[in-house]
Chain A
Amino acid sequence: GENVGLHLPTLSVQEGDNSIINCAYSNSASDYFIWYKQESGKGPQFIIDIRSNMDKRQGQRVTVLLNKTVKHLSLQIAATQPGDSAVYFCAETMDSGYSTLTFGKGTMLLVSP
């Protein structure tokens, strides 16, 4: 599949700050994107998703933005907490129906108290 990469391998923030994690994708045919959070030694957990016909989607303290013009995806975490420290992956899929996901390399988010 196409590469889905992340700009920043490590992001360090202070507790209470807002965090922004970025992801670039190269396949304009991708129609669904997901952000996962992976804590050390555990499997990835779903955070939020967005379809290609949307520009923005909000969840609890998280917002995903999709810019199809520049093929860019971002995850915004409001009021970052120490418990948000983890590796964050974006993933994309191009197919309809049940499909395989292509994951980016991940960004480590470190939150200092």
Chain B
Amino acid sequence: SQTIHQWPATLVQPVGSPLSLECTVEGTSNPNLYWYRQAAGRGLQLLFYSVGIGQISSEVPQNLSASRPQDRQFILSSKKLLLSDSGFYLCAWIGGTHNKKTYEQYFGPGTRLTVT
């Protein structure tokens, strides 16, 4: 079966500090990977998506960046966090060798980030 992991689960960081959130998928190969941010009581905002190693598409210009160093690893980073970066960050995957549905995205457990 396929699983998706995110860590850390929660994070409290001061303004101006760097950020690194990691997402990994198991049980499939060559998935599409997505990073979303969700503000409290709001919907999901797509930040980045990747269709393969080293391929990153940015949906929203901001001080965040994403990288995909390995097929099943997706990293969200920032050099200097802003207060507005606080939120619930979700990673999702779709497709790959074990998922014939091309639209259904599977979400990870999320990382709660608080910037102080």
- Which positions in A face B, CB cutoff 8 Å? 32, 34, 36, 41-46, 49, 89, 93, 96-106
Contacts and interface: CB of A to CB of B under 8 A. Distances in A.
B109 A34 contact: no
Nearest to A42: B109
Contacts, number: 53
B43 A105 contact: yes
Given A97-B102, A101-B103, A101-B105, A42 B110 contact: yes
A34 B110 contact: no
Interface string B67-109: 0000000000000000000000010101100000111111111
Nearest to A5: B43
Given A89-B44, A106-B42, A98 B90 contact: no
B53 to A, nearest CB: 15
Contact of B102 (A42, A43, A98, A104): A98
Contacts of B19: none
A100 B49 contact: yes
Central interface residue in B104, B105, B110, by most chain A CB within 10 Å:
B105
Given A36-B107, A46-B105, A101-B103, 6 more contacts: A34-B105, A45-B107, A98-B94, A99-B103, A100-B49, A101-B105
B33 to A, nearest CB: 11
13 contacts: A34-B103, A41-B112, A42-B110, A43-B92, A43-B107, A43-B109, A43-B110, A49-B104, A96-B102, A97-B102, A98-B51, A99-B103, A100-B59
Nearest to B6: A43
Contact of B42 (A44, A97, A105): A105
Given A42-B110, A46-B104, A49-B103, A98 B95 contact: yes
Q: Which 6 A-B pairs have the closest CB atoms?
A: A43-B107, A103-B44, A105-B43, A98-B32, A103-B43, A32-B103
Contacts of A98: 32, 51, 94-95, 102-103
